[in-house]
């Protein structure tokens, strides 16, 4: 019996839902229904052999024992040495010492135990394009240093040739990769809805990664595109219940014609509405008009918010909207200066997002460091210039909150995840505080934000199920999926008329 999929297949031998459908189309070679013991599978088998019996089983308690507990919940508190008790996918108790009888034990000695990271804006369909636009900017604004830019190159060239099977493998691999980095929840902004089949593939790839996901239904292009009308079918088919691992958000980009209908459909379906808000895209007038008309609400997620007017900020804040920032991307791709201080001063909820892997890595350690260093740079500059009321310096714990509970609240999941609070889902990461890049541990939040990276993510638990154990992802043949992703990359590049040039100028 496979503990990963509840089938009668040997562990790690089960192909994903679309394997047999996409094997011929991706790479031109049919894959066997069983998985050979490649190096990644062998490593997972070794890791699984050390997984305590009973972990994640229905009706069996799991006790994370003796860890350094960072709850991100002021009422629960933190513990230099503490325990977290899990039952049926939920956190039951957090305390200095818990007697849980015959619970399965995870020894967390030397590990920081904290809620999983939450990425509120990630374009997972672009995984095969990683680093391809490392030098790029957002749009050709007349001051470009190179011909390639994100809108024309990625959205209007590469994305247009994606088949549903390309969408699936990109979504799946991107999701698994973020699990490896301790990101247990994501809002996937999938601007790839060229047909209902593309939409289905995006949802299935998001779900098959096995983490908490918010499906962001954004635009698509071509004769087969059914956005935004297909939202009703999608919600009924995939998201009829709110009590599930994946939920749905409506995309409503105000730089595209017909956005009004998308907002109408989204609100009619009771969905939050997310959109990119970027001054360099010329959105400020429309944004201000919508705000003045009272059309903003606490169901809005505004991504970036760069280059917007004071009035626009007031409208957004008064409505209780949420801000998602991708600080490294915003600095790198000429979105405008990340408005960190404006978001803080406005009292708005502020979460972090990775945005696009064609340009920047999708781990939350990078996002937290980008956030805290830029905020402190401006605050320190003001202090050195003699400004009397310079901003308060952001602290590492602030950055952690923006990367966890603030993201949960922005995605309307604050009662579900984002902190180690009894009653919430067991979305938990164990970070190695004895690793060579961290030891000796002197400050928990400081170590997480200023020292750690993906290699410190030892164990990842989503909804009570172990997804990474002692540094090893489990449940997927990564070598085989990488081969499928590379085959998808080759097809996409060939159809877009772009050569893969490892040492040339990206783009």
What is the SS3 string spanning 430-452? EEECCCCCCCCCCCHHHHHHHCC
What is the model's pLDDT at position 69? 98
What is the model's pLDDT at position 59? 82
Backbone phi and psi for residue 54, each to the nearest 5 degrees, phi listed first: 95, -5
What is the model's pLDDT at position 294? 97
Nearest Cα to Cα of residue 458 among 40, 64, 11, 54: 64
Q: How many CB atoms lie within 10 A of CB 197?
A: 14
**133 Cβ contact list (under 8 Å, min separation 6):** 148, 150, 153, 154, 356, 358, 359, 506, 507
Q: For the domain made up of 117-410, give the CATH fold.
A: TIM Barrel (3.20.20)
pLDDT tens digit at each of 507 positions of the chain: 343 343 333 344 344 444 534 443 343 333 333 333 456 777 778 778 888 888 878 888 999 999 999 999 999 999 999 999 999 999 999 999 999 999 999 999 999 999 999 999 999 999 999 999 999 899 988 887 777 899 999 999 999 999 999 999 999 999 999 999 999 999 999 999 999 999 999 999 999 999 999 999 999 999 999 999 999 999 999 999 888 999 999 999 999 999 999 999 999 999 999 999 998 888 999 999 999 999 999 999 999 999 999 999 999 999 999 999 999 999 999 999 999 999 999 999 999 999 999 999 999 999 999 999 999 999 999 999 999 999 999 999 999 999 999 999 999 999 999 999 999 999 999 999 999 999 999 999 999 999 999 999 999 999 999 999 999 999 899 999 999 999 999 999 999 999 988 997 765
In angstroms, the CA 273 to CA 211 distance is 22
What is the model's pLDDT at position 39? 62
What is the model's pLDDT at position 34? 33
- DSSP notation for 24-44: TTTTTSPPPSS----HHHHHH
What is the model's pLDDT at position 125? 98
What is the model's pLDDT at position 146? 75
In angstroms, the CA 296 to CA 160 distance is 31
């Amino acid at each position: 019996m496979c503990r990963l999929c509840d089938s009668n297949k040997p562990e790690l031998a089960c192909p994903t839902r679309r394997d047999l459908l996409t094997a011929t189309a991706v790479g031109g070679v049919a894959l066997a229904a069983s998985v050979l013991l490649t190096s990644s599978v062998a490593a997972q088998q070794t890791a699984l052999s050390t997984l305590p019996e009973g972990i994640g089983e229905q009706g069996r308690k799991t006790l994370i024992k003796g860890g350094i507990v960072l709850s991100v919940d002021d009422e629960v508190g933190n513990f230099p040495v503490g325990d977290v008790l899990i039952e049926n996918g939920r956190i039951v108790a957090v305390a200095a010492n818990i007697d849980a009888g015959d619970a399965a034990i995870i020894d967390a000695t030397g590990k920081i135990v904290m809620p999983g990271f939450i990425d509120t804006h990630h374009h997972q369909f672009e995984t095969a394009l990683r680093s391809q636009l490392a030098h790029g900017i957002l749009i050709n604004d007349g001051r470009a240093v190179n011909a390639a830019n994100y809108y024309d190159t990625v959205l209007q060239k590469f994305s247009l040739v994606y088949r549903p099977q390309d969408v699936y493998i990109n979504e799946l691999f991107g999701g698994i990769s973020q699990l490896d980095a301790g990101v247990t929840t994501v809002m996937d902004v999938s601007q790839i809805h060229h047909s209902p089949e593309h939409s289905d593939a995006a949802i299935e790839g998001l779900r098959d990664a096995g983490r908490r996901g918010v499906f962001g239904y954004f635009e698509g292009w071509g004769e087969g595109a059914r956005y935004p009308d297909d939202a009703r079918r999608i919600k009924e088919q995939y998201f009829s219940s709110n009590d599930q691992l994946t939920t749905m958000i409506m995309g409503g980009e105000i730089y595209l014609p017909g956005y009004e209908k998308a907002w109408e459909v989204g609100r009619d379906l009771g969905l939050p509405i997310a959109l990119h808000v970027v001054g360099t895209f010329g959105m400020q007038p429309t944004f201000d008009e919508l705000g003045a008309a009272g059309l903003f609400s606490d169901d809005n997620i505004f991504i970036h918010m760069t280059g917007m007017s004071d009035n626009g900020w007031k409208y957004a804040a008064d409505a209780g909207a949420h801000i998602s920032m991708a600080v490294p991307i915003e600095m790198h791709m000429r979105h405008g200066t990340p408005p960190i201080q404006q978001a803080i001063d406005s009292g708005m909820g502020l979460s972090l997002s990775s945005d696009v892997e064609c340009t920047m890595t999708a781990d939350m350690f990078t996002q937290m460091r980008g956030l805290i260093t830029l905020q402190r740079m401006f605050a320190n500059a003001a202090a050195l210039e003699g400004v009397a009321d310079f901003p308060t310096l952001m602290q590492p714990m602030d950055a952690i909150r923006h990367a966890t509970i603030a993201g949960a609240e922005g995605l309307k999941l604050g009662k579900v995840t984002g902190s180690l609070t009894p009653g919430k889902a067991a979305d938990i990461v164990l970070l190695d505080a004895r690793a060579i890049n961290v030891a000796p541990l002197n400050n928990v939040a400081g170590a997480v934000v200023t020292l750690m990276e993906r290699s410190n993510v030892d164990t990842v638990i989503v909804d009570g199920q172990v997804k990474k154990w002692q540094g090893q992802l489990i449940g997927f043949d990564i070598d085989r999926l990488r081969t499928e992703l590379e085959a998808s990359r080759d097809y996409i590049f060939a159809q877009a008329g772009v050569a893969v040039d490892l040492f040339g100028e990206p783009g």
